[in-house]
A and B are shown apart, each in its own frame.
Chain A
């Protein structure tokens, strides 16, 4: 389990992570979602004790990362920037990591096979493709057979087959009872992988809920209505308590389902040219959520407003 509490990181004047608190529970995949520059990588670096928090704290399994006697056996991480020397072979890279935490050398070949790099184990990693580098990064994360796995944008640069592989792997690690924390800026990818979602925008937490809740709450749907008697229909539906927004020659209706709209309009003998249920995609929901946060945080700052949630 990872517990983040009141975590803040400033780089000079720039607030990269702003008073963030959440927990990443065991036995499930937690997606860490946010647009570019939201503070995902910074948060993950602070989890690993690489960057020093300006305020707040992070613990992994109840203690600070740096207090673990053998951190690679407790937390496996894939970091954003390739943390590799191009002149070193994949096997040598894993060998020194294994040595540093007294991980048996036999484990090196195991993880190489697991990620499908055994054929190029002796090749210098500078010659690796983006996807191969990413696979090696995942091998590094799994080297110590850790109960907590932190992956910063693991599907970056992978082909569709590789993306599916990471997804399956993440699911499998969670089913084994591990804590899996994955960052991404693709909502659609997270929807397929994550059980739980932490959404971050401009360094602040915008949502912390189960994937199911997120979909129910944010993937808004509406009924699209077109009618030659637009004004009358709008009044009618508003009268029935619906939320009606005219868009071009359409009406977007929320609060009533398509059947109810059809019946109400039919009862009054009005005409309908179109009656459609429109679901906005999760990606749209995510965009709406994060773009709103930008406006809100800008306003909050000028108002000196406090808590956002």
Chain B
């Protein structure tokens, strides 16, 4: 056994490497951006988002254009031109959930918070990365679906112009709604920390509970239904409302945005206090 003598050969300035000022939020943002795009699931989810969103819209328009143009049609082409986006929204929820829960599942969260102890900055950077990605992906997908689907509608003479009522709004609205869904999923992810749990909660809330809420009795029930995240947020993403009882597009989206914001603030408060 050897016991090494205490060696104090070198005096090292403990701060020699440390800048006087913080690297700033842009560094945190860059780190989150690299993190987001350096796992395969991100690319796959984004591709799926596009394929489902644009592809299914094109498919449904192609197969229904003739019927829509006929006299027996009881639906407007506007209900079809964003059809695939509903499925794309699921992948947006998956992406939003994974940005947060994959860190907890793998223990990465500790590396993240050791690198950036300001937890608010970490959360803001994650939210911003999601916002940028989902807004662009959602809007691009909606436009792609519109152009592809409209090709078939045009052939039957029932095409929609971008200038038609609500069409352009629904394109950007798709990007906005998808962003909101991703952030909602991220917020739930912060609170429950498990991928499967967070995912099923958000999917159930948006796609199941929302529809069931319309069965609630009375004005009270009616308002609960109107304000459910999926019901309030989705009208902005479609040219013609699916449900006459729903809020108008921008009122609904404002309510939805507020709900997402409240959830993120709660998540932020929990995240600040919690052991990593």
Assess the A50–B17 pair: CB atoms within 8 A: no
Say whether A52 faces chain B, with CB atoms less than 8 Å apart. Answer: yes
Assess the B3–A212 pair: CB atoms within 8 A: yes
Instruction: List B residues 139-174 near A (Cβ within 8 Å).
Output: none
CB contact between A74 and one of B18, B28, B275, B276 (< 8 Å): that residue = B18
Assess the B108–A74 pair: CB atoms within 8 A: no
Q: How many angstroms from the CA of A177 to the CA of B35 in the assembled complex?
A: 33
Contacts of A72 in B (CB 8 A): 114-115
Assess the B30–A79 pair: CB atoms within 8 A: no
Contacts of A95 in B (CB 8 A): 34, 38
Instruction: List A residues 74-125 near B (Cβ within 8 Å).
Output: 74, 77, 79, 81-89, 92-93, 95-97, 99-102
When C-beta atoms are compared, the residue in chain B nearest to A97 turns out to be B115
Q: What 0/1 readout, one digit per residue, does chain B (1-33) give for beta carbons within 8 Å of chain A?
A: 111111111111111111111110001101110
Say whether B71 faces chain A, with CB atoms less than 8 Å apart. Answer: no
Contacts of A191 in B (CB 8 A): 1, 3
Assess the A66–B106 pair: CB atoms within 8 A: no
From A141-149, A237-245, A290-298, the one touching the partner chain is: A141-149
Given A50-B275, A81-B107: A176 touches B1 (CB 8 Å cut-off): no
Contacts of A145 in B (CB 8 A): 17
CB A49 to nearest CB in B, in angstroms, measures 5
Q: How many angstroms from the CA of A281 to the CA of B100 in the assembled complex?
A: 48
Instruction: List A residues 159-181 near B (Cβ within 8 Å).
Output: 171, 174-179
Assess the B31–A51 pair: CB atoms within 8 A: no
Assess the B106–A69 pair: CB atoms within 8 A: no
Assess the A147–B39 pair: CB atoms within 8 A: no
CB A19 to nearest CB in B, in angstroms, measures 19
Q: What 0/1 readout, one digit per residue, does chain B (89-109) give for beta carbons within 8 Å of chain A?
A: 000000000000011001111
Interface size on A, residues (CB 8 A): 62
Assess the B31–A100 pair: CB atoms within 8 A: yes
Say whether A15 faces chain B, with CB atoms less than 8 Å apart. Answer: no
Q: How many angstroms from the CA of A23 to the CA of B3 in the assembled complex?
A: 21
CB contact between B8 and one of A28, A52, A140, A192 (< 8 Å): that residue = A28
Contacts of B4 in A (CB 8 A): 171, 195, 211
Q: How many angstroms from the CA of A77 to the CA of B32 in the assembled complex?
A: 20
Q: How many angstroms from the CA of A1 to the CA of B18 in the assembled complex?
A: 15
When C-beta atoms are compared, the residue in chain B nearest to A52 turns out to be B275
Instruction: List B residues 106-145 near A (Cβ within 8 Å).
Output: 106-111, 113-118
Say whether A61 faces chain B, with CB atoms less than 8 Å apart. Answer: yes
Q: How many angstroms from the CA of A148 to the CA of B40 in the assembled complex?
A: 34
Contacts of B38 in A (CB 8 A): 88-89, 92-93, 95-96
Count how many pairs of residues, one from A and one from B, have CB atoms less than 8 Å apart in the complex: 164
Contacts of A70 in B (CB 8 A): 17-19, 22-23
Contacts of B108 in A (CB 8 A): 83-85
Q: How many angstroms from the CA of A73 to the CA of B41 in the assembled complex?
A: 31
Contacts of B11 in A (CB 8 A): 27, 177
Q: How many angstroms from the CA of A99 to the CA of B13 in the assembled complex?
A: 23
Q: What 0/1 readout, one digit per residue, does chain A (187-201) give for beta carbons within 8 Å of chain B?
A: 000011001100000
Name which of B7, B10, B35, B114 has the most chain A CB atoms within 10 A of its CB.
B114
Assess the A147–B6 pair: CB atoms within 8 A: no
Given A97-B115, A192-B1: A147 touches B12 (CB 8 Å cut-off): yes
Contacts of A102 in B (CB 8 A): 19, 23, 27
Assess the B31–A97 pair: CB atoms within 8 A: yes
When C-beta atoms are compared, the residue in chain B nearest to A68 turns out to be B18
CB contact between B115 and one of A61, A71, A178 (< 8 Å): that residue = A71
Given A87-B41, A192-B1: A71 touches B17 (CB 8 Å cut-off): no
Assess the A176–B12 pair: CB atoms within 8 A: yes
Assess the A175–B10 pair: CB atoms within 8 A: yes
When C-beta atoms are compared, the residue in chain B nearest to A146 turns out to be B17
CB A77 to nearest CB in B, in angstroms, measures 6
When C-beta atoms are compared, the residue in chain A nearest to B21 turns out to be A69
CB A102 to nearest CB in B, in angstroms, measures 4
Contacts of B276 in A (CB 8 A): 45, 50-51
CB A91 to nearest CB in B, in angstroms, measures 9
Assess the B12–A178 pair: CB atoms within 8 A: yes
Given A28-B8, A74-B14, A89-B38: A81 touches B117 (CB 8 Å cut-off): no
When C-beta atoms are compared, the residue in chain B nearest to A281 turns out to be B1
Contacts of A27 in B (CB 8 A): 6-12
- Excluding A85-B106, A85-B108, A102-B19, 5 further A-B contacts by CB distance (< 8 Å) are A27-B6, A79-B111, A81-B107, A144-B17, A171-B4
- A and B contact pairs by CB, cutoff 8 A, 23 listed: A26-B14, A45-B110, A49-B113, A65-B117, A70-B23, A71-B115, A73-B17, A79-B107, A81-B110, A82-B107, A83-B108, A83-B110, A84-B106, A96-B32, A96-B38, A100-B27, A102-B19, A171-B4, A177-B11, A191-B3, A195-B6, A195-B7, A211-B4
